[in-house]
Chains A and B, each alone.
Chain A
Amino acid sequence: MAGKIVSIHSFRGGTGKSNVTANLAAQVAMTGMRVGVVDTDIQSPGIHVLFGLDEQKMGKTLNDYLHGKAAIREVGFSVGENTGEGEGRAQLAGRNIFLFPSSIRGAEISQILQEGIDFNRLNEGLQTAVAEFDLDYLFIDTHPGLNEETLLSIATSDVLLIILRPDNQDLQGTAVTVDVARSLDVPNLFLLVNKALPKYNNFEVIKSDIGAKFDAAVTSVLPLSFDMAENASNDLFSLRFPDHEWSKALKSIVPFILNAK
């Protein structure tokens, strides 16, 4: 079976996309799968922090690959062999999980924004990453909105997980994204509601109503959590606090990914 490309997307920023991507990839890796995580949010990379990677530790990046200065093999950072500090992350020791980070150097970011991304090369890189690292799943943390690089990620995905908050603006944007994904024939389209207010939102109602509205499976409804906001910036929350409500809800997404056709 060829590895699957799983794009995690949200129409607007601030939905907790990077956190969901990192935690979900980690949970899938914990099941024994070989997992890759690509940060294609080249304008504002962030997911590396959750995997304990800083500027000093960061070697070759996706930017180097896109500029022909490195092979994709050199970009992949083995999280399982370098878990670093972080109680949650430590559990990934020995697991097969590889991060393909974007450069966090200002000059390199502005360079790529000026020159634009060579889509064919990015696409080739993703396919090569899957093949060379023998990945079962390659998670793509996309840039919010529907710009060209995001459309490319969606177009090449086997699974698209769209994150939204239970509010009007997110729903409106998600509606367009769902339409676009359908038009691009993405085989598996899933929704995930994040930052729901436990006091005012009935999670089961949200799940069934949003699912019915878009005719798509809502994988889970994650609560807005201050514990999460306080503790999530530099570790993998769902590994560190496995019994937390947020973590449990996140883990319930895993079967959707593993069972996707």
Chain B
Amino acid sequence: MSGDVLQKIRETNFFKELSPDASAAVAAKAAMRKFAPGEFMMRKGDPADSCFVILEGHLKVVTNDAKGDEIIINKVGPGESIGELALVDERPRSAGVIALEDVEALELTKDAFFELLDQRVDVSLGVMRGFSHRLRFSTTYIEKVIDWSQKTAEGDYSFLEQTQPIKNTAGSDDDKAAQLLSAFYSMVRKVKAREEDLKQTVERLSFEIDQERRKREFEEITGTEFYNKLKQQAKELRQKRMGQS
């Protein structure tokens, strides 16, 4: 197995904690598979009996909407693993995966995977570390989203300036937490923009002075005899007080 293949194995989130030696053990148990464009790597509802590490080419992850039409929920490519969670929890495939181009992937069957876990403590540990890393990662993101939700509810958007948006690298499951954060971030930015628009509307609204009415009311007040007398008196009064000071 070439170094390039081992490299790809260790790029996946599932196997990223494995040592080079443990990766080689995984590679040794896996079989090389090729998929032509349009070919299914797995179908929704199938029993989950293997996982894949993609070496070459891209695939789409699809499900069906209520009408039965295909919806693409994700796109995956080299250095990503697919179907590994099902190996552990033994649930049927939750989505279909179809090659978009010529694809090369390593397939590790469930039996081979469990044999490996049984024989090599370092692989077991590596996989566990991967899971715990992922859990920790997701928890951190969830905590962030909770914190940001509270801030947003209070109208405090300061975190938008203090935090860099996470680059949305669609792909592995780990990135889903990042995707959530990124989606949340962009949602808050849009909410803030809408609020600012509204604010400006409120301000603009408050600047509609009816000039005709203003003139008319001014003339009504100042056009009386009382007013003219008052104006004269005020003038005299000021002159008198100026003289005093």
* Residue B203 at the chain A interface, CB threshold 8 Å: yes
CA distance A154 to B52 in the complex (A): 85
Asked whether B210 lies within 8 Å of A176 as measured between CB atoms, the reply is: no
Q: Which residues of B contact A166 (CB under 8 A)?
A: 203, 206
Q: For the complex, would chain A's binding face be called helix, strand, loop or mixed by DSSP majority? A: helix
Asked whether A156 lies within 8 Å of B234 as measured between CB atoms, the reply is: yes
- Chain B residue nearest to A187 in the complex (CB): B238
Q: Number of A residues whose C-beta is below 8 Å from B?
A: 30
Asked whether B203 lies within 8 Å of A176 as measured between CB atoms, the reply is: no
Asked whether B226 lies within 8 Å of A148 as measured between CB atoms, the reply is: yes
A-facing residues in B48-64 (Cβ within 8 Å)? none
CA distance A130 to B231 in the complex (A): 21
A-B contact count (CB 8 A): 71
Stretch at the interface among A54-62, A200-208, A239-247: A200-208
Asked whether A172 lies within 8 Å of B241 as measured between CB atoms, the reply is: no
Asked whether B203 lies within 8 Å of A184 as measured between CB atoms, the reply is: no
Q: For the complex, would chain B's binding face be called helix, strand, loop or mixed by DSSP majority? A: helix
Asked whether A175 lies within 8 Å of B214 as measured between CB atoms, the reply is: yes
Q: Which residues of A contact B230 (CB under 8 A)?
A: 119, 148, 151-152, 155, 184
Asked whether A185 lies within 8 Å of B238 as measured between CB atoms, the reply is: yes
CA distance A1 to B222 in the complex (A): 31
Asked whether A172 lies within 8 Å of B234 as measured between CB atoms, the reply is: no
Asked whether B234 lies within 8 Å of A171 as measured between CB atoms, the reply is: no
Interface flags for A155-193 (1: CB within 8 Å of B; 0: not) read: 110000000001110011001100110011100000000
Report the minimal beta-carbon distance from B165 to chain A, rounded to whole angstroms: 25
B-facing residues in A1-37 (Cβ within 8 Å)? 1-2
Other contacts beyond A151-B226, A151-B230: 8, CB < 8 A: A146-B221, A155-B234, A168-B208, A172-B210, A175-B214, A180-B222, A185-B234, A213-B209
Closest 5 CB pairs of A and B: A155-B234, A2-B245, A179-B218, A176-B217, A175-B214
User: Which residues of B come within 8 Å of A, CB atoms?
Assistant: 155, 198-199, 202-203, 205-210, 213-214, 217-218, 221-222, 226-227, 230-231, 233-235, 237-238, 241, 244-245
